[in-house]
């Protein structure tokens, strides 16, 4: 009876290919990986810290009002794998935020962020004071040798913008508005936030 997985000894080429596949190929792959840089391991402290830094960069841009215009929102694509930064109808006005902890999950690394929220501004309804603390988890994924925000972060659908930046933006919007009702909503929001 013939063995199913035996290496045929009568063929020297098959034997050479067998040994190449078993020993030489893995050694060459390891050597290639060593020359291209260190691969990020999701459970390492370095990877957890890199993911927290990526989230902090995104939160800094968001708090500075980058998502309030399409031009500046495009610059946020450097820290996310999403093709587009989502449009929004409402934003949260924040006093500050804190990137807290990071933990690995099967899709990458989840980073916990806590916000102190003053209230919410909606283009149709205006400003509503809603002071509260809010904690979200942001999914990050490896993109080459760096960590970026993943595509499915529903908690980031609304911008979280600092009070001073919101006031500046509202003032600019009120000055440019020709709709009396919209201008009234904007001016009421400015007054409530001052």
Report which DSSP code applies to 194.
Answer: -
Instruction: Write the pLDDT tens digit of every residue in 159-176.
Output: 999 999 999 999 999 999
Listed as own residue / partner, the contacts of 97-101 with beta carbons closer than 8 Å and 24 or more positions apart are: 97/59, 97/63, 97/160, 99/52, 99/55, 99/56, 99/59, 100/135
User: What six digits make up the tokens of 62?
Assistant: 């968001």
57-81 pLDDT, tens digit per residue, is 999 999 999 999 888 888 888 888 8
For the full predicted model, state whether its pTM sits above 0.85: no
d(CA 77, CA 89): 20
Pairing mode, strands 160-162 and 146-149: unpaired
Tokens 């400015």 found at: 190
């Amino acid at each position: 009876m013939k063995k199913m997985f035996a290496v045929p000894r009568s063929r020297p080429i098959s034997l050479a290919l067998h040994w190449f596949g078993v020993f030489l190929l893995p050694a060459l792959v390891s050597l290639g990986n060593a020359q291209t840089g260190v691969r990020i391991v999701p459970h390492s402290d370095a990877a957890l810290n890199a993911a927290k830094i990526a989230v902090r960069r995104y939160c800094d841009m968001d708090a500075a009002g980058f998502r309030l215009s399409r031009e500046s929102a495009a610059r946020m694509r450097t820290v996310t794998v999403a093709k587009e930064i989502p449009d929004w109808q409402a934003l949260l006005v924040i006093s500050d935020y804190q990137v807290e902890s990071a933990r690995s999950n099967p899709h990458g690394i989840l980073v916990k962020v806590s916000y102190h929220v003053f209230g919410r501004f909606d283009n149709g309804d205006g400003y509503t004071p809603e002071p509260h603390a809010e904690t979200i988890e942001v999914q990050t994924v490896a993109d080459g040798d760096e960590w970026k925000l993943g595509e499915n972060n529903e908690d980031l659908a609304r911008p979280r913008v600092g009070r001073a930046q919101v006031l500046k933006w509202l003032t600019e919007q009120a000055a440019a508005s020709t709709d009396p009702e919209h201008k009234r909503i904007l001016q009421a929001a400015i007054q409530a936030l001052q």
